[in-house]
């Protein structure tokens, strides 16, 4: 069980849950009815999709040679021999099935748009690193995270509650999606040398480490600049609370500019994950207040 939890990458699972809480708190802020069954089923479905994505990534990266004994990142269960590729793939497909089952109540409420979003999300769990055109190997991983862990997650959950998509749901989706993108960028900077050897053309491999350091800096700048929108609509508590993780974001930026890719980036990854989590929690609390 300990090894399976390692394979699930528990620290990454907040990326699946936080957008759902943000969308729900936004519904509350607007004085609309919160459907708590949506929260439960959307959370379960998102968690299973996230776990499936992590498992596919674990097995496929090993199969393609991206994860080797030279790896400086966290332990991967396939590469380390804790589980076979077949075992990891089997559980990944099982998680996809569970995600679809949990999505049935959501489809009954949201109709055709949720069917489309759910099916695409499950398929993308595999296509992120697998299939004939793996997104992570073509430099599209950053865009994938922004779309599915930001816009789709927040706007989709908001739609399930309200039957529509609002500007506020899109803005908050962009914000949390950008913060989730930082995680993949830090991860790719750390692994760029090994990725280049196996033709995994992440944006870091394509354009260099300097490009990605600038990307992270701009992502944080845009995310916190968008707090001006919440001032515009009168959600002042959101602004004050969401500024709490700003100093930690600045520390992440300082760290990546002062250090070249190494095992240190594992710590920077943890800090950037905390920025993402804190921002989402503070946003949700602010909306509830």
Q: Give CA separation, 97 vs 38, 93, 122, 162, in Å.
A: 19, 6, 9, 27
d(CA 185, CA 119): 26
pLDDT at residue 272 tops 70: yes
Q: Are 190 and 272 in contact (CB under 8 A)?
A: no
Each residue of 138-185: pLDDT tens digit?
899 899 999 999 999 999 999 999 999 999 999 999 999 999 999 999
**CATH of the domain spanning 2-288:** 1.10.600
- When pLDDT is cut at 50, 70 and 90, the band that residue 38 belongs to is very high
3-class state of residue 148 by DSSP: helix
Interval 59-70 mean pLDDT: 72
Among the residue ranges 108-112, 226-230, 246-250, the one predicted with the least confidence is 108-112
Confidence of residue 80 (pLDDT cuts 50, 70, 90): confident
- Please tell me which residue, 137 or 62, carries the higher pLDDT value: 137
Q: What is the pLDDT of residues 238-250, one digit of tens each?
A: 999 999 999 999 9
Amino acid 71: pLDDT: 59
Task: Give residues with Cβ within 8 angstroms of 154, minimum separation 6.
Answer: 19, 22, 23, 26, 169, 170, 172, 173, 176, 177
Q: Which pLDDT score, from 0 to 100, does residue 73 have?
A: 63
Give the pLDDT of residue 103: 93
Position 41 scores a pLDDT of 96
How does the average pLDDT of the chain come out, rounded? 91
Helix ranges (H only) for the chain are 2-8, 14-29, 36-63, 85-110, 112-127, 141-146, 152-162, 167-197, 203-207, 209-225, 227-232, 236-242, 246-258, 264-288
pLDDT tens figures, 258-269: 999 888 898 999
- Which pTM was predicted? 0.91
Does residue 84 carry a pLDDT above 90?
no
Q: For the residues 15-27, what does the mean pLDDT come to?
A: 94
Q: Which residue has the tokens 């989706």?
A: 173
């Amino acid at each position: 069980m300990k090894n399976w939890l390692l394979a699930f990458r528990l620290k990454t699972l907040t990326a699946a849950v936080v957008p759902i809480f943000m969308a729900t708190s936004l519904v509350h802020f607007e004085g609309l009815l919160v459907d708590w069954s949506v929260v439960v089923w959307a959370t379960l479905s998102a968690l299973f999709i996230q776990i499936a994505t992590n498992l596919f990534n674990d097995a496929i990266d090993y199969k393609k040679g991206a994860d080797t004994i030279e790896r400086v990142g966290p332990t991967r269960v396939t590469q380390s021999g804790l589980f076979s590729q077949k075992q990891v793939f089997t559980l990944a497909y099982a998680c996809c099935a569970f995600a679809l089952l949990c999505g049935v109540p959501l489809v009954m409420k949201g109709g055709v748009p949720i069917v489309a979003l759910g099916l695409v999300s499950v398929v993308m769990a595999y296509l992120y690193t697998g299939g004939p055109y793996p997104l992570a190997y073509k430099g599209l991983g950053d865009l994938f995270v922004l779309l599915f862990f930001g816009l789709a997650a927040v706007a989709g959950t908001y739609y399930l509650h309200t039957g529509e998509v609002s500007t506020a749901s899109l803005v908050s989706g962009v914000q949390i999606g950008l913060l989730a993108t930082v995680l993949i960028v830090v991860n790719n900077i750390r692994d760029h040398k090994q990725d280049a050897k196996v033709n995994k053309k992440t944006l870091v491999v394509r354009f260099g480490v300097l490009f990605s350091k600038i990307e992270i800096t701009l992502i944080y700048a845009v995310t916190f600049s968008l707090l001006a929108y919440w001032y515009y609509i009168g959600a002042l508590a959101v602004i004050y609370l969401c500024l709490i993780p700003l100093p930690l974001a600045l520390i992440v930026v300082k760290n990546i500019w002062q250090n070249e890719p190494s095992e240190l980036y594992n710590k920077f990854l943890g800090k950037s994950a905390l920025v993402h989590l804190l921002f989402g929690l503070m946003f949700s609390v602010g909306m509830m207040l």
